[in-house]
Amino acid sequence: SRTKLDENTKLAYSWVTLDDLEKYKINLADFDGITNLISTSSPVNLGLFLVEYGKGKIKGSLRSEPYGGRDVVQIAKALGGGGHPYASGFQQEGTIDETLKKVIELNQEEKNEIIRQGLKQCTKFSWEKCAATVLETIEKVIINKEPPC
């Protein structure tokens, strides 16, 4: 199978070459919806489908899901494309391998940014504040019989 998973970024990806298009007499329209299927191979529903539609011409489609936290339009925009946070596309000149490498690098940068934001958010957390809030809620609901909200 040509569907692969980048273990580091959890990006599921596949591709079709110009030779495949010619050999099997298929065109771009034949692949509608395939990126959604590819994304289901990823633990975070993050998928990429690349098509070499001309010599040195690559079309890429990216898909994600809201719960995965990946905004694929940022990757597509960095490659001159666009779309929506969970469905985006782009075109590149070069090879499938070169394009795949760019997408994986951009995906890693976005993953690192999500981690940085999460770590920053963690600095705002306090077990003491959490415990105090829980005890306050227990006192209101159980002892004082107040509604929880």
Query: What stretches of the chain show up as alpha helix (H) in DSSP?
Result: 18-24, 34-39, 72-78, 96-122, 127-138
Confidence at 71, pLDDT banded by 50, 70, 90: confident
Residues 97-123 pLDDT 10s: 999 999 999 999 888 887 888 899 889
Mean pLDDT of the chain: 91
Question: Is it the case that residue 16 has pLDDT exceeding 90?
Answer: yes
Looking at residue 69, its pLDDT comes to 65
Looking at residue 6, its pLDDT comes to 94
DSSP class of residue 66?
Answer: G
**Looking at beta carbons, which pairs linking 99-102 to residues 24 or more positions away fall under 8 Å?**
99/50, 99/58, 99/60, 100/13, 100/15, 100/48, 100/50
Three-state DSSP at 114 gives helix
Q: Hey, what amino acid is at 3?
A: T
Which of 61-75, 84-98, 114-128 is the most confident on average? 84-98
Looking at residue 54, its pLDDT comes to 95
Question: Is it the case that residue 149 has pLDDT exceeding 70?
Answer: no
Report if pTM > 0.85.
no
Confidence at 78, pLDDT banded by 50, 70, 90: very high
What angle is formed at CA 90 by the lines to CA 52 and CA 99, rounded to 5 degrees?
55
Residue 91's H or E segment, with its range, is: strand 87-93
